[in-house]
Chain A
Amino acid sequence: MTLDTVKNAEQTPEAGQPWADLGLKPDEYERIREILGRRPTGAELAMYSVMWSEHCSYKSSKVHLKQFGEKVPANDAMLVGIGENAGVVDVGQGYAVTFKVESHNHPSYIEPYQGAATGVGGIVRDILAMGARPVAVVDPLRFGAADHPDTKRVLPGVVAGIGGYGNCLGLPNIGGEVVFDSCYQGNPLVNAGCIGVMKHEDIHLAKASGTGNKVILYGARTGGDGIGGVSVLASETFEAADPDGVTANRPAVQVGDPFQEKLLIECTLEIFKENLVAGIQDLGGAGLSCATSELASAGSGGMRVDLDTVPLRDSTLSPEEILMSESQERMCAVVEPGKVDRFMEICEKWDVIATVIGEVTEGERLEIFWHGEQIVDVPPRTVAHEGPVYQRPYARPTWQDALQADDANKLPRPANATELRDQVLKLIASPNQASKAWITDQYDRFVQGNTILAQPEDAGMVRVDEDTNLGVAMATDGNGRYAKLDPYAGAQLALAESYRNVAASGAKPLAISNCLNFGSPEDPDVMWQFAEATRGLADACLQLGTPVTGGNVSLYNQTGETAIHPTPVVAVLGVIDDVTRRTPIAFKEEGQLLYLLGETHEEFGGSAWSQVVHDHLGGLPPKVDLERERLLAEILISASRDGMIDAAHDLSDGGLIQAVVESCLRGGTGARLVVPDDLDAFTFLLSESAGRAVVSVPRSEELRFTDMCGARGLPATRIGVVDGTVSDANAVVEVQGEFALPLEELRTAHTQTIPGLFA
């Protein structure tokens, strides 16, 4: 096959091109021809096709995501905002923290182990590229029904992939979620988050400036894996349970090498330390196409790249394939000529292959050559930042009203104490509410020696400075059931829960990242869900004062015509001045008083109870009150700082009883609860009203604590005591006048479900 050079493209304007197979639409192909004033070369077409994919260009979501930049709360913490590899916030004492959540949903369905593993690898490189040392990872995961045979294929692979990759990098896995729902059967959600820490002066940006500066590709050799990952895989709809589709798409999934990534991390950090780079970008989705065009687009000059200098794993790769390959563990740096030698020495020390593949040029073109012949000549902005933008039509689904009218509050409730007891036990043992230790025990949570809190705590927390005890916390939350009932409220509830979780750990919420998982943007129902969720989240961020620092959108999460529940996942980052003041969830001290903070209403729409007992989804999700969330957070943080509480646990899915049981199991104690006068036992135990937490208060602090709540107007109801000393074999969780459940029975119910299904 002859090389399709720029000259050749000019001479053969009518040559047929496989734009449709690469995922481009007819008008998009026309626009490329307009931009270039000729037909694109094969290499140019490859670049545009991946960079203009939904995954890279955000072409359907952009018009809605704009709000995150417009509704920005006044917040001094923001150092780098949306648009870079990851956002950066100031956490004090000269430290900055960068964090982000990304999706690797489609590859993880096709090839669970590698899909999930490379999801971890990708987010870690994003964080690294900002100049930070990655210090922790989290993994929000959603799978199909727990008892479905395919979940048994996907979940163990995903978990082993996350562990296999993350554990080899030496990054503690401190949080995340595991949710089961049949809506994710053909489309699991594998999101991955990472936190990185640096000093303010170490922040690095992705841009290529300074004519004559060298462009260095370093890390793994480029292979044929992951070609078209972003365009073919992440931006299309899978057909219903098509085993052939799984097989056919497998080569589009990248294959990871965590050892190489570990070397890349240490090598890059040493390069940063010596201040050797002018700009840096990781290679992830869309590979070299993305890195070269984004670096050139963000910088002041152009760029020339000699593609035949790229080290290859497979010497038969065509230039188009090299540009599209998503081979992992690669980075691209822009380095002043005088610093290249030292850069290369450090790479050699870490056994990392590094190659000068080009340089920054005058002018505004990205030019790529193959054995001396020009195959790409484009304005980089048109590839990287000026892709198509769609105003997709959206409309409130016709079924939305009926769904909301199907009120969960009217479902049959337990008729007596025995039924209530049985339903509580069933709930505690249900896959969504059961202990996820079998999963999280496959992740290293201790490495780096700075882990203060890790799952099943409300938030993960790591120490940032050993001398001052400064720390950061992060929680991720999302509830697709709530969002299906009301996407605006559902997105706000995801933020509220995550925010509450961070505050319950004692940290002050600072900023957020999000991962927005939705169905096909070509479906007006889905687009409405997306529009509502982004609007809800932006409004709530403004009100809570937590800016969006960046995030990720994953669309086309559906099987055939059926979309997943809209699933906005929100990660809140918090800061704590002194990690010794952190608040764990465990009830440990016999006799401490249990207080319920917030108000409980009859709210069962989308609840765990309605799902587990009635397999029902309908009605409205719990009411959102952001001012209440803020007040609750302030109280939790103050109480933690001033030593007024020894344990705190946020209330969310499963309600009060779920939280109390988890805290008892964590501490090895029992609890005696009294139903407040104004509530019935069922609502008290199982309602999912937002803006609530349960805390354990030492008797000596009771007055001070209740005075504080009273003075600031937060309802605080004494609901019982911690009962039984730690590891008391006879400990029970008792609801007076209703039932008593032995702790050991609860432990068995809570811990055996997941291993029973997957071990």
Chain B
Amino acid sequence: MTARIGVVTFPGTLDDRDTQRAVRVAGAEAVPLWHRDKDLKQVDAVVLPGGFSYGDYLRAGAISRFSPVMESVIEQAKAGMPVLGICNGFQVLTETHLLPGAMLRNNHLHFICRDQKLRVETNSTAWTADYETGQEISIPLKNIDGRYVADERTLDMLEAEGRVAFRYLDVNPNGSLRDIAGITNEAGNVVGLMPHPEHAVEPLVGTGRTDGLGFFTSILKNLVGAR
């Protein structure tokens, strides 16, 4: 039996079906989870996909953190279950304080969609084990509220503990502090990033590269290996 990976759909989630596809392409089973339902259906890991949950009218991710499904996700994440937040999912994770910091509007104030080069800064997380530390990858970035900020003390702590998981290369697309594109929690089971690995898993579509597939194969190996 392969790993069961839950993909949460909030109202306004956009990349849920893409994420389910990425999970399947990697060889795992995708399990749709509904925002109103506390039941995580015995999944082994959860992905919070991109979009504009609840319209993001108050602040990106601010409403979603109070949804019934997130009660269970927070509880399980604290108990060690792997959780990946992509874009809006990353915003939700910072709102829940599973990850530190916050996302502000891009410094140029525009939505930006581009093929973004990143450096994987650590492969010691549940979602990056299949990459080499220092590996450069290109995956799509698309957001308007993507500027990662935190206070200096938090940023220093993240750097010192090796918890900056991804850094923007070539271009910092939104003014994120210290070029941070994604981070991990202390245990390495909760990871959040703004770019979209689920849009880079097939050679034919999107950017035509499969640099994002490693996220999903990493978790699969992590889970199957743990059995």
Q: A residues near B, CB below 8 A?
A: 160, 163-164, 167-170, 257-260, 262-263, 350-351, 440-452, 463, 466, 469, 579-580, 759
Number of residue pairs spanning A and B whose beta carbons lie under 8 angstroms apart? 86
Q: Which residues of A contact B54 (CB under 8 A)?
A: 259
Interface residues in B3-58 (C-beta closer than 8 Å to A): 11-12, 14-15, 17-18, 21-22, 51-52, 54-57
The answer to whether B85 has its CB under 8 Å from any CB of chain A is no
- Complex: A351 Cα to B55 Cα, angstroms: 13
Minimum CB distance partner of A162 in chain B: B111
Q: List 20 A-B contacts (CB under 8 A).
A: A167-B111, A168-B55, A170-B15, A258-B52, A263-B12, A442-B113, A444-B111, A445-B113, A446-B196, A446-B207, A447-B14, A447-B15, A447-B199, A449-B17, A449-B22, A449-B201, A449-B202, A450-B205, A452-B204, A463-B204
Beyond the given A167-B111, A351-B11, please list 11 additional residue pairs across the A-B interface where CB-CB is below 8 A. A169-B14, A170-B14, A259-B12, A441-B113, A444-B113, A447-B142, A449-B17, A449-B205, A451-B206, A452-B205, A463-B204
A579 engages B11 (CB within 8 Å) = no
A259 engages B57 (CB within 8 Å) = yes
Q: Which residues of B contact A257 (CB under 8 A)?
A: 55
Query: Which of A440, A446, A580 counts the most chain B CB atoms within 10 A?
Result: A446
B206 engages A449 (CB within 8 Å) = yes
Query: Which of A167, A259, A447, A448 counts the most chain B CB atoms within 10 A?
Result: A447
Q: Which residues of A contact B108 (CB under 8 A)?
A: 759
- Complex: A262 Cα to B204 Cα, angstroms: 27
A441 engages B199 (CB within 8 Å) = no
A580 engages B204 (CB within 8 Å) = yes
- Complex: A260 Cα to B55 Cα, angstroms: 8
Interface residues in B145-201 (C-beta closer than 8 Å to A): 196, 198-199, 201
The answer to whether B97 has its CB under 8 Å from any CB of chain A is no
B55 engages A259 (CB within 8 Å) = yes
B142 engages A446 (CB within 8 Å) = yes
Q: Which residues of A contact B111 (CB under 8 A)?
A: 160, 163-164, 167, 442-444
Give, as a whole number of angstroms, the nearest-CB distance from A135 to chain B: 11
The answer to whether B78 has its CB under 8 Å from any CB of chain A is no
Give, as a whole number of angstroms, the nearest-CB distance from A139 to chain B: 14
Q: Which residues of B contact A351 (CB under 8 A)?
A: 11
Interface residues in B98-113 (C-beta closer than 8 Å to A): 108, 110-113
Q: Which residues of B contact A463 (CB under 8 A)?
A: 204-205
Q: Which residues of B contact A164 (CB under 8 A)?
A: 111
Minimum CB distance partner of B24 in chain A: A466
Give, as a whole number of angstroms, the nearest-CB distance from A153 to chain B: 16
Q: Which residues of A contact B144 (CB under 8 A)?
A: 167
Query: Which of B55, B113, B114 counts the most chain A CB atoms within 10 A?
Result: B113
Q: Which residues of A contact B142 (CB under 8 A)?
A: 167, 444, 446-447
B12 engages A446 (CB within 8 Å) = no
B12 engages A168 (CB within 8 Å) = yes
B198 engages A449 (CB within 8 Å) = yes
With beta carbons under 8 angstroms apart, the residue of A440, A444, A451 that contacts B205 is A451
Q: Which residues of A contact B57 (CB under 8 A)?
A: 259
Query: Which of B18, B21, B108, B205 counts the most chain A CB atoms within 10 A?
Result: B205
Q: Which residues of A contact B56 (CB under 8 A)?
A: 259
The answer to whether B61 has its CB under 8 Å from any CB of chain A is no
Minimum CB distance partner of A167 in chain B: B111
The answer to whether B140 has its CB under 8 Å from any CB of chain A is yes
- Complex: A167 Cα to B87 Cα, angstroms: 13
Q: Which residues of B contact A443 (CB under 8 A)?
A: 111, 113
Minimum CB distance partner of B202 in chain A: A449
Query: Which of B11, B51, B54, B201 counts the most chain A CB atoms within 10 A?
Result: B11
With beta carbons under 8 angstroms apart, the residue of A444, A447, A579 that contacts B204 is A579
Q: Which residues of B contact A579 (CB under 8 A)?
A: 204
- Complex: A177 Cα to B31 Cα, angstroms: 39
8 smallest beta-carbon distances between A and B, as pairs: A259-B55, A170-B14, A449-B18, A446-B199, A446-B140, A163-B111, A168-B52, A444-B142
A447 engages B110 (CB within 8 Å) = no
Give, as a whole number of angstroms, the nearest-CB distance from A83 to chain B: 32
- Complex: A351 Cα to B11 Cα, angstroms: 9
Give, as a whole number of angstroms, the nearest-CB distance from B20 to chain A: 10
Q: Which residues of B contact A259 (CB under 8 A)?
A: 11-12, 52, 54-57
Minimum CB distance partner of B18 in chain A: A449
Minimum CB distance partner of A173 in chain B: B113
Q: Which residues of B contact A466 (CB under 8 A)?
A: 21
Give, as a whole number of angstroms, the nearest-CB distance from B63 to chain A: 11
- Complex: A448 Cα to B19 Cα, angstroms: 9
Q: Which residues of A contact B199 (CB under 8 A)?
A: 446-447, 449
- Complex: A260 Cα to B108 Cα, angstroms: 27
- Complex: A452 Cα to B199 Cα, angstroms: 12
